[in-house]
Amino acid sequence: MRSRIFRDINARKAVVSKELERTIWRYMSRNTTLEPQIRMQAQLALSRTPREASPSAIKNRCVVTGRGRGVFNDWKLCRFQFRLRALNGDLPGVDKASW
């Protein structure tokens, strides 16, 4: 496997592990009924979370090649691998178009 795939897997694990914590800090920092000092502390705690734990750090990548462009979300394959597997009949319900 490529290192990009491992990096993407680790980023996804980090997002899952820090999701609850980030949600709590974000809610506290946006809650206007709290005191400004508490809101500021929550904002600082949110900014101290690792960058890899941010959901925007996740990029869709092909699970076979690690390619980051032209990835179909439903199958997690890049367009070339999708075409090869569709022609081999490995993808159920996908046929070559003919009209």
Residue-level pLDDT at 77: 92
Instruction: Report the alpha-carbon distance of residue 80 to residue 49 in Å, rounded.
Output: 37
Is the CATH code 1.10.287.1480 the one for domain 1-59? yes
Q: What is the tens place of the pLDDT at every residue in 29-72?
A: 999 999 999 999 999 999 998 888 888 878 888 888 888 899 99
Are 63 and 2 contacting, i.e. CB atoms less than 8 angstroms apart? no
pTM of the predicted model, to two decimals? 0.66
Residue-level pLDDT at 39: 95
Average pLDDT, the chain: 89
Closest CA to 52 of 6, 7, 4: 7
Q: What are the domain boundaries of the chain?
A: 1-59, 60-93
Higher pLDDT, 8 or 29: 29
Are 35 and 28 contacting, i.e. CB atoms less than 8 angstroms apart? no
**% pLDDT > 70, the chain:** 99
Q: 60-93 — its CATH code?
A: 4.10.830.10
Residue-level pLDDT at 1: 60
